[in-house]
């Protein structure tokens, strides 16, 4: 009796320790798995504003006199074609805190991230990974607008432009455009060859014209409203001039849908672009989980060029551009 009574507290302690140990092991395993899990494609919240691509906005923003000729036979995105995906390198050494290999070292970079490029990067690498990327980290937002005189001096025509788009949406800065060519060539090799650009550079004056047209439309629709109320309404679906990132000439809207809208979200093509953009110097500019930081609703189609080193760091750190600039002390 006495012996039995004496032992039971020890037994209880031993059992408790066992349970704690098992619990700790499970927690460590869960953490390890979540580290390697794919980024979730979350539902949008409704607090943030749209960047500029409300579907009706995009359609209305075309040259009215020319009409819009959307490609009639746009096919649905293919299921991800596993067989065309190249084998990862045998001993990948990805990891935060390592030195991201710089210009001219494709092999080292591939080893670093643990994935080979399928496209031949020889003619593209200097654009994907510019020697000085600082000018490509430009922040443009409603809080950091561009002046009306800001016009990039190295705009070139976008090779992968969707048919029928107006010429004034069809340009991009040189380095971003060349990097984009490699990015979309790679996408095609993974079975996503139907992704095309619907919007590139947009000048202050084009944005201004668009915005003013919307103001006029809404004034006609609500003749008894104040000018402030009209402006506030239009600002929920169109960017006031100077505040659209498209004026930087460093971003594109691209997808394989009829127009820019949420039907692209979560498709194999959208997921592939989001997971691979950093390898080509791009970031998904308005991620679903950063709406409170960017102030812009999730846009699965809007990609911003920042150069490969910054894009890779942002990918590893899980940061959007605003957070990254803050982290680097560049804001």
CB atoms within 10 A of CB 285: 23
Of the ranges 128-136, 247-255, 273-281, 318-326, which one interacts with Zn ion (CB under 5 A)? 247-255
- Contact (Cβ atoms closer than 8 angstroms) between residue 106 and residue 125: yes
Q: Which of residues 302-331 bind Zn ion (CB under 5 A)?
A: 302
Of the ranges 83-91, 209-217, 235-243, 246-254, which one interacts with Zn ion (CB under 5 A)? 246-254
Q: How many residues bind Zn ion (CB under 5 A)?
A: 2
CB of 301 to Zn ion, least distance (A): 7
Tell the burial category of 140 from Cβ atoms under 10 Å away from its Cβ (0-12, 13-18, 19+). Answer: buried
Closer to Zn ion by CB, 51 or 125: give it.
51
Closer to Zn ion by CB, 178 or 302: give it.
302
CB of 252 to Zn ion, least distance (A): 7
- Reduce the DSSP state of residue 140 to 3 states and report it: coil
Nearest residue (beta carbon) to Zn ion:
302
Tell the burial category of 147 from Cβ atoms under 10 Å away from its Cβ (0-12, 13-18, 19+). Answer: exposed
Q: Per-residue string for binding with Zn ion, 112-151, x by CB under 5 A? A: ----------------------------------------
Residue with tokens 């084998």: 87
DSSP 157-221: E-TTBPTT--GGGSEEEHHHHHHHHHHHHHHHHTT-TT-EEEE----HHHHHHHHHHHHHHHHHH
Q: Which of residues 198-237 bind Zn ion (CB under 5 A)?
A: none
CB of 325 to Zn ion, least distance (A): 19
Closer to Zn ion by CB, 302 or 315: give it.
302
Closer to Zn ion by CB, 297 or 302: give it.
302
Q: Per-residue string for binding with Zn ion, 267-306, x by CB under 5 A? A: -----------------------------------x----
CB of 199 to Zn ion, least distance (A): 6
Residue with tokens 């672009």: 273
Q: Which of 58, 62, 253, 259 binds Zn ion (CB under 5 A)?
A: 253
Closer to Zn ion by CB, 290 or 302: give it.
302
- Reduce the DSSP state of residue 228 to 3 states and report it: helix
CB of 245 to Zn ion, least distance (A): 7
Taking the alpha carbons at both ends of the chain, their separation in whole angstroms is 73
- Please enumerate in sequence order all residues whose Cβ is within 8 A of that of 174, keeping only pairs 6 or more positions apart, or say none: 127, 154, 155, 156
Tokens representing residue 185 in the block: 């060539």
Q: How far apart are CA 125 and CA 128, in angstroms?
A: 5
Cross-strand bridge partners of residue 156:
172
Closer to Zn ion by CB, 192 or 302: give it.
302
Torsion of CA 181, 186, 188, 194, to 10 degrees: -50
Of the ranges 39-47, 98-106, 144-152, 253-261, which one interacts with Zn ion (CB under 5 A)? 253-261
CB of 103 to Zn ion, least distance (A): 28
CB of 229 to Zn ion, least distance (A): 26
Interacting residue ranges for Zn ion, rule: CB under 5 A: 253, 302
């Amino acid at each position: 009796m006495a012996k039995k009574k004496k032992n039971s507290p020890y037994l209880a302690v031993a059992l408790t320790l066992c349970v704690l140990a098992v619990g700790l092991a499970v927690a460590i395993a869960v953490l390890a798995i979540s580290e390697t899990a794919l980024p979730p494609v979350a539902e949008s919240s409704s607090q943030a504003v749209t960047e500029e691509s409300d579907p009706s906005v995009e359609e209305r923003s075309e040259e009215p006199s020319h009409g819009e000729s959307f490609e009639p036979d746009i096919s649905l995105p293919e299921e991800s074609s596993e067989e065309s995906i190249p084998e990862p390198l045998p001993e990948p050494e990805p990891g935060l805190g390592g030195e991201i290999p710089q210009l001219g070292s494709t092999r080292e970079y591939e080893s670093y991230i643990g994935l080979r490029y399928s496209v031949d990067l020889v003619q593209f690498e200097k654009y994907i990974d510019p020697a000085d990327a600082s000018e490509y980290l430009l922040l443009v937002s409603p809080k950091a607008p561009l002046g009306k005189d800001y016009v990039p001096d190295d705009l070139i025509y976008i090779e992968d432009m969707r048919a029928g788009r107006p010429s004034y949406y069809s340009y991009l800065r040189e380095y971003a455009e060349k990097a984009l060519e490699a990015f979309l060539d790679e996408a095609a090799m993974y079975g996503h060859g139907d992704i095309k650009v619907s919007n590139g550079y947009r000048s202050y004056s084009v944005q201004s014209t668009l915005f003013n047209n919307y103001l006029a439309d809404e004034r006609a629709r609500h003749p008894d409203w104040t000018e402030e109320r009209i402006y506030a309404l239009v600002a929920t679906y169109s960017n006031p001039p100077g505040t659209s990132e498209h004026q930087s000439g460093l971003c594109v809207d691209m997808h394989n849908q009829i127009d820019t809208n949420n039907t692209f979200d979560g498709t194999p093509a959208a997921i592939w672009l989001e997971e691979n953009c950093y390898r080509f110097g791009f970031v998904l500019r308005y991620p679903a989980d950063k709406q409170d930081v960017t102030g812009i609703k999730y846009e699965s189609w809007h990609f911003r060029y920042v150069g490969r080193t910054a894009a890779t760091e942002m990918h590893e750190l899980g940061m959007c551009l605003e957070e990254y600039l803050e982290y680097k002390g560049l804001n």
